[in-house]
Structure 1
Amino acid sequence: MKETLARNIARYRKERGYTQEELGRMLGLSYQAVSKWENALTMPDLALLPDLSKALEVSIEKLLGYISQDGRISIYEDAYKTPDYYWGTEPNTACYQVLRIRPPTRRLKLLDIGCGEGKDAVFFARNGYEVTAFDVSDAGIEKTKKLADKIGVHVNVFKADLLDFRLDTHFDILFSSGVLHYIKPDYRDEIFMNYKQFTNPEGVHAFNVFLEKPFIAPPPEREENAYKWYSGELLSHYHDWLILESSETVFDCNSSGIPHKHAMAKMISQKVP
């Protein structure tokens, strides 16, 4: 918890545009005290948490790394509550590429980042991977558990916010589809550094991102927490890895009931021993 709190104090302080000195002054403390919090050397007294929460304009639960259950976090929360699977149950085609590149001939740990309703996570578990998955949607997590139970496999699934979650254990494979556009540009270097650091040698990352293209209209879904990616940006985080695949596609989509197009970059890379 200490590291999570330290990271969140620094994150929300910077988002509000405060220096350590300014935040300390608001709380009647020195900037050294704030610095120690942000470097996880000390923790704020419990009595200070309400004032810290007020100064940073964030709930105590969020500050401590817990996601509030109130309100709709994801635009898909309501869609995931229906009996049908919004995205279907067929795995993403990239799942088959991961299966070919890193077949589970031995115990391999895989993390599905932003698993949605769990179709890909369950596919990997069904094929012999040790699967961990997380999503921000309560309904998505429940659908993942139900699908895993129906197939008869185990997926260690939990709730987490993509922006807050950091790895502290190693994996062999990191997989994410249709999720990374929720990462704010200012946090991408830190998050991908964390992902790479906690990937075992010869481990694989299989990711895709939606791209900003001038000839494609914005999607009809109103996603306040979505951020733009540009051609080559995902690759720039993997200049020191072996790139196994890099491609861009434009495809038709009808997920919202309104026909539209998306541009997407796909990358599969491997950590060089």
Structure 2
Amino acid sequence: MKEQLARNICRYRKERGLTQEELARRLGLTFQAVSKWENAQTMPDLSLLPDLAAILNVSTDRLLGYVPQDKQVSIYENEYRTPDYYWGVEPNKACYQVLQLMPPTRPLKLLDMGCGEGRDAVFFARNGYDVTAFDISDAGVEKTQRLADKAGVTVKAFRADINDYRPDARYDIIYSSGVLHYIKPEYRSELFQHYKDHTNPDGIHVLNVFVEKPFIAPPPENEPNACKWRSGELASYYHDWLLRESSEAVFDCNSSGIPHKHAMSVVIAQKIGTI
């Protein structure tokens, strides 16, 4: 709770364009108090939370890291509430690349960021990985757990926003498919450095992201929280790692019932030695 609140105070303060001194002045405090909050050394007094949330233009729930259960936070929330699996239950082909590059011949910890309904997370667990997974959709997390239970495996799944969540454990594999376009540009550098810092030596990241191309029409889904990515941008965060793959492809998609195309960048990077 303390670290989550610290990150959120810092995040929303910067989004509002406020310095620590300006925020402190509006609350009638010293800037040292705000600094201690953002460094998770102390927490704001409970009585300050309503004023703090108002200044930062967020709800107290959002400030504390919660999303109201009656608020749809993903365009797929309703689809995930149906009995059928919107994305199916067959794993993404990138999962097989993980198996080839780092087979679970020893205990390996894997983080699936934006697990959706759990098809990839459960595949990894069935193959012997120690899997942690998160998604912003409560319904997606519930279906992930149901799919894991049906397969007789364990997936430590929970709800989190990819913009807010920072791993506190170290992983051998960090995996994400079709989710990174939700990361806001201003958080990317810090987030990817955090992912790298929380990866064990010789660990790998297997990631993809949708990129914009002038010759491809925008997708039919209305995704208000999606952010633009450029070709080559994802790979740029791994200039100090071994790039095992950095590729781009255009493919057909029918996920919304309307045929369309996507351009996607794929990066597989490895942390060599004790970097």
Shorter-normalised TM range: over 0.9
Residues 113-124 of structure 1 mapped to structure 2, 5 A cutoff: 113-124=113-124
Counterpart for residue 175 of structure 1 = 175
Deviations 1:114-156 (A, max 9, x none): 0000000010001110111000101111111111111111111
Displacement of 1:39 in angstroms is 2.2
Counterpart for residue 217 of structure 1 = 217
Counterpart for residue 29 of structure 2 = 29
Counterpart for residue 141 of structure 2 = 141
Displacement of 1:53 in angstroms is 1.0
Counterpart for residue 4 of structure 1 = 4
Q: Is the 8 A contact 1:122 1:148 kept in 2?
A: yes
The AA in structure 1 aligned to 2:127 is N
Deviations 1:173-201 (A, max 9, x none): 00000000000000001111110001000
Superposed CA RMSD in Å reads 1.0
Residues 187-198 of structure 1 mapped to structure 2, 5 A cutoff: 187-198=187-198
Displacement of 1:87 in angstroms is 0.5
Mapped partners of 2:67, 2:113: distance in 1: 16
The AA in structure 2 aligned to 1:121 is A
Mapped partners of 1:106, 1:224: distance in 2: 41
Mapped partners of 1:20, 1:132: distance in 2: 35
Mapped partners of 1:118, 1:252: distance in 2: 22
Displacement of 1:31 in angstroms is 2.4
Displacement of 1:165 in angstroms is 0.5
Which secondary structure does the structure 2 equivalent of 1:97 belong to? helix
Sequence identity (%): 71
Which secondary structure does the structure 2 equivalent of 1:244 belong to? strand
Mapped partners of 2:227, 2:52: distance in 1: 28
Mapped partners of 1:111, 1:39: distance in 2: 25
Which secondary structure does the structure 2 equivalent of 1:142 belong to? helix
Q: Is the 8 A contact 1:124 1:131 kept in 2?
A: yes
Counterpart for residue 204 of structure 2 = 204
Which secondary structure does the structure 2 equivalent of 1:203 belong to? strand
Which secondary structure does the structure 1 equivalent of 2:262 belong to? strand
For structure 2, the 5+ residue unaligned runs are: none
Mapped partners of 2:109, 2:61: distance in 1: 30
Q: Is the 8 A contact 1:67 1:161 kept in 2?
A: no
Displacement of 1:40 in angstroms is 2.3
Q: Which moved more, 1:24-33 or 1:178-187?
A: 24-33
Displacement of 1:61 in angstroms is 2.1
Mapped partners of 1:65, 1:71: distance in 2: 14
The AA in structure 2 aligned to 1:243 is L
Name segments (4+ residues, structure 1) moved above 6 Å: none
Mapped partners of 2:70, 2:164: distance in 1: 18
Displacement of 1:57 in angstroms is 1.4
The AA in structure 2 aligned to 1:104 is P
Counterpart for residue 112 of structure 2 = 112
- Indicate whether 1:72 and 2:72 are aligned: yes
The AA in structure 2 aligned to 1:53 is A
- Indicate whether 1:53 and 2:31 are aligned: no
Counterpart for residue 103 of structure 1 = 103
- Indicate whether 1:87 and 2:87 are aligned: yes
Count of residues in correspondence between the two structures: 273
Displacement of 1:93 in angstroms is 0.5
Mapped partners of 1:41, 1:140: distance in 2: 34
Counterpart for residue 151 of structure 1 = 151
Mapped partners of 2:79, 2:101: distance in 1: 33
The AA in structure 1 aligned to 2:246 is S
For structure 1, the 5+ residue unaligned runs are: none
The AA in structure 1 aligned to 2:128 is G
Mapped partners of 2:61, 2:162: distance in 1: 16
Mapped partners of 2:253, 2:77: distance in 1: 19
How does the TM-score come out when normalised to structure 2? 0.97
Mapped partners of 1:2, 1:122: distance in 2: 31
How does the TM-score come out when normalised to structure 1? 0.97
Mapped partners of 1:36, 1:141: distance in 2: 33
Mapped partners of 1:144, 1:34: distance in 2: 38
Counterpart for residue 63 of structure 2 = 63
